[in-house]
Chain A
Amino acid sequence: MRRLLIDRTRCDGHGSCAELLPELLDLDEWGFPISLTGERDPAVPRSLAAHGERAVRACPLMALRIG
């Protein structure tokens, strides 16, 4: 299963990823993404693959990748 990997040193809390992947991510009170699946790097189901790719492209800090 492919996972959504968040580079926490790059992340600046813009929050675009949680807007585009509300199934997998929520924001903590400072605006940083937290996984909703209980895993550190949430698994991206096939049904969300396109949304995941879009979230990766939308990150202004290039802090996301899927792998």
Chain B
Amino acid sequence: MTAHLDTALWALGRGTGMVALVMFTLTLVLGIVSRSGRAALGVGRFGVAELHRTAALTGTGLITLHIGTLYFDPYAQLKLVDFVFPFLGSYRPFWLGLGTLAVDLLIVITVVSLLRERVGPRVFRAVHCATYALWPVALVHALGNGSDGGALWFRVLAGLCAAAVGIALSWRLSAGYVERGRVRIPRSVPR
């Protein structure tokens, strides 16, 4: 019975981490798309923003499960201190530390985003820029710390995530990208 529970915790811990990576990739790509003020996927501009928010909160929930299950998992041997202070872990401390760093960033970004009415748009935006640090740190943590990090299928998944973010970023940084504020483009609201 206990062996089954251990297996379940281990599988859940790994699985939630992987799906969270996919969710945060989706969040980042949608964030870049909505930043441009474009409607996409047929859901309108407000729809893109709401999908972005939902994907981010889903990813955050999965990360809560990820660290919660691995805390009770006897193989991972997480300590409470590993939730907050990086690089003190017993198993691959450097790669685990990157995960801790990502959780710290995630907590700050999530709290500030949920309180954005209180902190105002300037602080909200400045803190939101930290997601560009969060995502690569989380990706490297998954590849270096995950016990499936060396598996071909996981490397393909990680590669697809990196490609999605890379394409979105290169589009945003390309010369043809039009951001509101500098060059105004006429828009009409479909009725």
Contact = CB atoms under 8 A, between A and B. Distances in A.
Q: Is A bound to B?
A: yes
B184 A58 contact: no
Interface string B178-191: 00110011111101
Given A13-B37, A29-B186, A31-B186, A22 B117 contact: no
A14 B37 contact: yes
B49 interface: yes
A26 interface: yes
A58 B121 CA distance: 13
Given A22-B189, A31-B187, A16 B45 contact: yes
A10 interface: yes
B186 A15 contact: no
B92 interface: no
Interface in A7-30: 10, 12-16, 18-20, 22, 26-27, 29-30
B15 interface: no
B61 to A, nearest CB: 20
B121 A13 contact: no
A12 B36 CA distance: 11
Interface residues of B, number: 22
A12 B191 CA distance: 22
Given A13-B180, A27-B188, 9 more contacts: A10-B121, A15-B45, A16-B45, A16-B49, A20-B46, A31-B180, A60-B34, A62-B121, A62-B124
6 contacts: A12-B37, A16-B49, A19-B39, A22-B189, A22-B191, A29-B184
